[in-house]
Every structure is written in C-alpha cells, then in structure tokens.
C-alpha cells in the first residue's frame, strides 16, 4: 500500500480535513471564551503595564497625580511621556510657590505656572495648585519684610486673589495652607503668618481663596499626620474648629513622605477622621525613600508599600487623589534633603518603571466599588 494511504496517529483521513479544522476552531472558541470569562471574573495576575494606570484610576473615581518640575517638562520628552502615559493630574512641585510666582513685590512671573497649566489643559490632566502660604520658598522681600498686620493681610489677600483669578477653572484645587503645624509636634508653626497675623491667618486666607474662586477645592496640606499621634490629633482639632465655624475648607492633604519599612498601617483610619467631617482627602506628596545601598529586596518591599498606600485611598470614601512627589528618582528632592536615602519614586533614574509602579497597577486593578463623595460644598 502506498504510504499516502496510511493514517498516522492523531491525523484524520485526508477526506476529513475540513471537519477537523472546524472542530479545532470550535474548541479554540470555547477555550478562549472560558479564559475570557475567567479573566473577567477572577482577579488575574497584576498587570505590569503602567500605561493602564490612568484608565484604572478613573475607574475608581480617583485621580493619580505626579509633582512636576517645569525645566524637565520643557526640555525632556521622556519626562513628558511618563506624565502623559501614567497620570491623570499634576501638581506644581515648585513653580507656583510664592518665591517663584511673585519674586518681587507686585511683580508676578507666570512663565512656569502657565507652562505647566497649558501642558495639563492640552492633555486633559487635572491641575492641583501648590501652594499659597508656606514658611519655605518665600521671596526675600516677603520673609525679611517688617510687616504690620494690616499690610501683611492685604499682601496675602492680593497674592491669593491674583494667582487664583488667573487660573480660575483650570486649577481646580489649591493647597492654600501648607504645613501649619511645627515639624514634630502638636503646636502651630510660628511662621511669618502666625507671628504677624495670629492663628486666624488660616481662616482669613481660606476666605480670600474662596472669594477668588468659589469653585476651587481648598486644602490644608500637612505631613506627620499619616499615623496616630499628637500632631495628627492637633491637625484634626484645628480642622474641626474651622469646619465648625463654617470656614471654606474642603480637604486635607496627607503628604505621605515615607521611609521604606515604616509606612503607617493606619493611614486609612486617619483619613476617615476627616471624611467623617464631610471633607475630602488626598495623599498629596507620596514617596518612599530607601537607605543606600538599595537591594532588590528593598524594591520588592517598596512595591508592596506603594500598593498599600493606593489601597488606603481606595478604601476611604472621599479620598480623591494620590500624587507621587516627582517623575523619576533623578528628579526627586530626597537625595538632596536626606543624604544616604534614594530610590523613592516609581521610576528609576533612567525612566525605567520600578516594581513600585507594578504595585500601583496591582492596587488599582481591584474591582472598583461605589464610592461616596465628600459632603462639604
Ligand atoms: O531655584 C534654585 C535654582 O535657581 C538653582 O539653580 C538650583 C540649584 O540647586 O536650586 C533651585 O532651588 C531648588 C528649589 O527646590 C527650586 O524651587 C532648591 O535647591 C531645592 O532645595 C528646592 O527643593 C524643593 C523643596 O520643596 C523646598 O523646600 C523641592 O524641589 C520640592 O520637592 C519640595 O517640596 C516640598 C513641598 O512643596 C511641601 N512638602 C514638602 C516637600 C518636600 O520638601
């Protein structure tokens, strides 16, 4: 018998080729359908692709933001790509601070803020304004001025009004007050505003901001309140008093500058203390710094830490934004301010995604649940 009449194991007779193909196609369809169902129903392995972050964040009704510096924004395409591909909001890392915006009395420099706001507007990214009153990064004419209360109050009012007017409708939230408490304690920080205007400078400035842009969400932004303790309690008391008095305040930013291995596990509880008051909250300046030398194990742990920070926000109704404080490790403030620490952000010095980015993807890959918005108008 000629060899071509032989039916080899596993092969159909030549006359049945079409039928076998049909069966195979049907089998494939079944397998693909079942796999599709399983992928939809079961929590699949975490996606590594950070490009999904904007879509995932929007699915949860939160913003995922990044602090942006103007110089690399203008000069480095890779820097712009990371922002465009991974985030839904931007915060001005420095360029909207008083030192940069009003470097001389009455002389405003809009070049940096305009660049950032135009970039964001063109890409449908939300802009968070940072910051009005802060004890750092003040111009010399302000910090070294010999102020009486009425004059300083007018200077503050003019600054807040001028800046917020310019970006009304384009900058939707402002850190009006930054770090009102002393670094490590429960007392109010004795800054210029406190010394000259007294503790009510906070309420007065919030009223000025609300008058300038009634739609803007107005925030107090603070660090060291992310875990239970005297400073957390002090800020809560301060904010409760403002809310009770009807002062226009809409949110509290938890900065979230964390040290690897020491990320608080009660962050969500602390945020709920403010959402219980009807306020919204953000985790506004996230980074997780690692002591050198950085090991692979450190980066793997950091992945879990970024994951847990994101999850804390997702678990709190009224947590509206998580912002990482810088685009890559090359742009982070950490090495300059904390010598011996580094690698605090989700992208490394060479713009490569780190495990932390996958941790964020994993956290946001949870099934979205219905969330209740803050109640304070
Ligand atoms: O502007 C000068 C520039 O002229 C000079 O060429 C350059 C040389 O190093 O320095 C520039 O100043 C830098 C400034 O940022 C830019 O505005 C300073 O060196 C640098 O120390 C400064 O650091 C910023 C820091 O605030 C100031 O306190 C960081 O970039 C910024 O990330 C950091 O952000 C703060 C938040 O606003 C509030 N929460 C804490 C957070 C970290 O400190």
CATH code, 228:
3.20.20.80
pLDDT of residue 48: 55
| Sign of CA pseudo-dihedral 372, 269, 321, 353 | negative
Instruction: Compute CA 58 distance to the chain's CA centroid, rounded to the nearest angstrom.
Output: 13
- Does residue 273 sit within a domain? yes
- Does residue 80 sit within a domain? yes
Q: How far is the CA of 346 from the centre of ligand 1 (A)?
A: 20
pLDDT of residue 372: 86
Joined together, the tokens standing for residue 333 give: 């403030």
pLDDT of residue 28: 39
- Does residue 347 sit within a domain? yes
Catalytic residue among 63, 179, 305, 362: 179
Instruction: Compute CA 119 distance to the chain's CA centroid, rounded to the nearest angstrom.
Output: 17
Decide if 319 contacts 62 (C-beta within 8 A): yes
User: Which phi and psi (to 5°) does residue 10 adopt?
Assistant: 85, -5
Q: How far is the CA of 329 from the centre of ligand 1 (A)?
A: 15
- Does residue 118 sit within a domain? yes
Q: Tell me the angle at which helices 201-212 and 149-166 cross, rounded to the nearest 10 degrees.
A: 30
Distance between CA atoms of 169 and 212, rounded to whole angstroms? 11
Joined together, the tokens standing for residue 107 give: 């002389």
Ligand 1 pocket, CB under 6 A: 93-94, 136-137, 178, 255, 285, 333, 336
Domain extent, residue 176, equals: 21-364
- Does residue 16 sit within a domain? no
Residue among 220, 224, 333 to mutate when testing ligand 1 (max atoms within 8 A of CB):
333
Residues 6+ apart with CB under 8 A from 339: none
Distance between CA atoms of 161 and 206, rounded to whole angstroms? 11
Atom 29 of ligand 1, nearest CA residue:
333
Positions of the chain with pLDDT lower than 50, given as ranges: 1-47
Catalytic residue among 63, 226, 280, 285: 285
Atom 36 of ligand 1, nearest CA residue:
93
Q: How far is the CA of 94 from the centre of ligand 1 (A)?
A: 6
Tokens 């039928």 locate to 19
pLDDT of residue 4: 31
pLDDT of residue 26: 46
- For the stretch 56-73, pLDDT in tens is 999 999 999 999 999 999
- Does residue 373 sit within a domain? no
Number of domains in the chain: 1
Joined together, the tokens standing for residue 163 give: 């800046």
Distance between CA atoms of 235 and 238, rounded to whole angstroms? 5
Ranges of H-type helices in 130-170: 140-143, 149-166
Q: What is the reported pTM?
A: 0.88
- For the stretch 71-104, pLDDT in tens is 999 999 999 999 999 999 999 999 999 999 999 9
285 is catalytic: yes
- Does residue 291 sit within a domain? yes
Distance between CA atoms of 220 and 202, rounded to whole angstroms? 9
Ligand 1 nearest atom to the CA of residue 94, by list position: 17
Q: Is 49 helix (H, G, I), strand (E, B) or coil?
A: coil
- Does residue 320 sit within a domain? yes
């Amino acid at each position: 018998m000629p060899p071509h009449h032989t039916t080899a194991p596993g092969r159909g007779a030549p006359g049945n080729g079409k039928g076998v193909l049909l069966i195979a196609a049907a089998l494939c369809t079944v397998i693909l359908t079942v796999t599709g169902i399983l992928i939809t129903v079961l929590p699949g392995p975490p996606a590594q692709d950070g490009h999904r972050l904007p879509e995932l964040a929007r699915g949860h009704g939160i913003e995922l933001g990044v602090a942006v510096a103007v110089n690399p924004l203008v000069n480095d395409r890779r820097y712009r790509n990371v922002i465009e591909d991974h985030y839904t909001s931007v915060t001005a890392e420095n360029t909207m601070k008083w030192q940069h915006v009003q470097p001389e009395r009455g002389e405003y420099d809009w070049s940096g803020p305009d660049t950032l706001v135009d970039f964001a507007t063109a890409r449908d990214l939300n802009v968070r304004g940072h910051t009005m009153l802060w004890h750092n990064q003040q111009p010399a004419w302000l910090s070294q001025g010999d102020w009486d209360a009425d004059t300083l109050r007018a200077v503050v009012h003019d600054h807040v009004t001028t800046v917020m007017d310019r970006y009304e409708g384009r900058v939707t939230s402002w850190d009006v007050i930054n770090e009102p408490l002393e670094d490590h304690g429960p007392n109010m920080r004795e800054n210029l505003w406190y010394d000259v205007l007294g503790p009510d400078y906070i309420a007065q400035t919030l009223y000025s901001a609300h008058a300038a842009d009634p739609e803007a969400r107005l925030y107090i932004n603070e660090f060291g309140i992310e875990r239970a303790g005297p400073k957390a309690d002090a800020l809560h008391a301060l904010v409760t008093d403002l809310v009770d008095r009807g002062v226009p305040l809409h949110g509290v930013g938890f900065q979230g500058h964390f040290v690897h291995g020491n990320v608080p596990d009660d962050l969500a509880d602390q945020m709920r203390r403010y959402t219980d008051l009807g306020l919204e909250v953000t985790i506004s300046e996230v980074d997780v710094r690692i002591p050198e030398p950085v090991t692979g194990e450190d980066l793997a742990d950091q992945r879990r830490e970024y994951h847990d920070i994101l999850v804390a926000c997702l678990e709190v109704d009224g947590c509206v934004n998580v912002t990482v404080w810088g685009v890559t490790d090359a742009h982070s403030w950490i090495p300059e301010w904390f010598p011996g620490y580094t690698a605090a952000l989700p992208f490394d010095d060479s713009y490569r995604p780190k495990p932390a980015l996958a941790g964020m993807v994993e956290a946001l890959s949870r099934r979205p649940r219905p969330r209740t918005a803050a109640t304070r108008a």
